[in-house]
Amino acid sequence: MNEKRYVILADKSGQLANQIVRLSHFIAHSAEHKYILYNTSFQPLLQYFVIPKSEEYAHIRLKHSSNKKLNAFLFKIVRKSSSVLQKISRKSPWHECISTYKLEVNATHLDFYDLEGSEFLTLLETKKYLILKGWKYRSRKLLPKHRELIKNFFHLAHPFARNVKQKIDEGRNESDLLIGVHIRRGDYAFFEGGKYFYQDDVYRRCMEDAQRLFANKKIKFLICSNEAVNPVSFTGLDFVNGTGHFVEDLYSLAGCDYIIGPPSTYSMWASFYGNVPFRMIRASDDQINLEDFHVFTI
């Protein structure tokens, strides 16, 4: 690919973990196929990371301007113009160099869109600009190859990294194993009809199961939740609470030895980033066994 090509992500793909996951796949794919990647919707999250300035990341553009207000304004223009282009590009002279592709967040016609598939690679070769919407784009073949590139991209900024270290140190004090527990509430009351909106007794039972798996170890739990944790629900278990900050809790989970929690890109990213075995709680009566823990590929 001699001529410069541009892939523009023209929408915000959900909350923190969803945005990180989508961007991770495009980091891997753009590194492999040598195109310029724009993802300016990620700009509000830049404050939490130390983005590398080395040459291997030079093709990744996460903001139009250093001015936050201007950047937000320009992102709105990109997002709205992409909708217009999607309607007219096939009939316009621009069609030869611009193409748009939109995947709805809840698309049912496929699970994920393979960036290594022939359709996308053809678009990449024939269009100078690709404007994309949706979060289901994946490049799972290339993700392992560029894993370290992705991990280095998402280094946590100070003081968030300091707070995470302090929390991990607290959890590891006088314990042999630190098990992260992701209690997801809030939006999970409605996600999938509330299927994964578990009550405290479900988490407690899973924690007790995990404790029995390591009966010869001193276990401490790190509980991270997007709602206040009732300590009475976990009386008798040795645990500490996360900081409550959505980014710090994510990276605190990534610093544990094991993770348990409901299906969530949040815990999956923590598992991927920290190389931590994760046991997904798929039902309220799940029994926790050691062979059920796996390091997840996002």
Q: How far is CA 130 from CA 24, 38, 76, 168, in A?
A: 18, 10, 17, 42
Average pLDDT, the chain: 88
The owner of tokens 């190859």 is: 145
pLDDT band at residue 1 using 50, 70 and 90 as cut-offs: low
DSSP E strands in 173-294: the ranges are 177-183, 219-225, 239-241, 258-261, 278-280
Question: What is the pLDDT averaged over residues 110-136?
Answer: 89
Using a 10 angstrom Cβ sphere, with 0-12 exposed, 13-18 middle and 19 or more buried, the burial of residue 99 is: buried
Q: In angstroms, how far is CA 81 from the centroid of its own chain?
A: 27
Percent share of the chain, pLDDT over 90: 70
**77 pLDDT higher than 60:** no
Nearest residue to 252 via CA among 153, 158, 156: 156
- CA distance linking residue 180 with residue 189, whole number of Å: 21
Residue 121 has pLDDT above 80, yes or no: yes
pLDDT tens across 44-61, in order? Answer: 999 999 988 888 899 999
What is the percent of the chain with per-residue pLDDT over 70, rounded to a whole number?
83
The encoded tokens of residue 146 equal 């560029």
Q: Would you list the domain boundaries of the chain? A: 6-153, 160-292
Token readout for 233 is 């629900």
Rg value, the chain, Cα: 21
CA angle 230, 236, 241 (to 5 degrees): 45
Q: Please tell me the class of the 160-292 domain.
A: alpha beta
pLDDT confidence of residue 65: 44
Omega into 159 within 30° of 0, i.e. cis? yes
For the stretch 88-102, pLDDT in tens is 445 544 445 566 666
The count of other CB atoms within 10 Å of the CB of residue 259 is: 27
203: tokens are 């988490």
Dihedral, 74, 78, 83, 87 alpha carbons, nearest 10:
120
pLDDT in the model for residue 12: 86
Q: Which of 89-98, 146-155, 203-212 has the lowest mean pLDDT?
A: 89-98
Per-residue pLDDT for 211 more than 90? yes
Q: Where residue 82 falls among pLDDT bands split at 50, 70, 90?
A: very low
Q: Between 76 and 268, where is the model more confident?
A: 268
The rounded distance, in Å, linking the Cα atoms of 285 and 94 is 55
Q: What's the first-to-final CA gap in the chain, in angstroms? A: 28
Q: Calculate the alpha carbon distances from 101 to 17, 91, 201 in Å.
A: 22, 15, 44
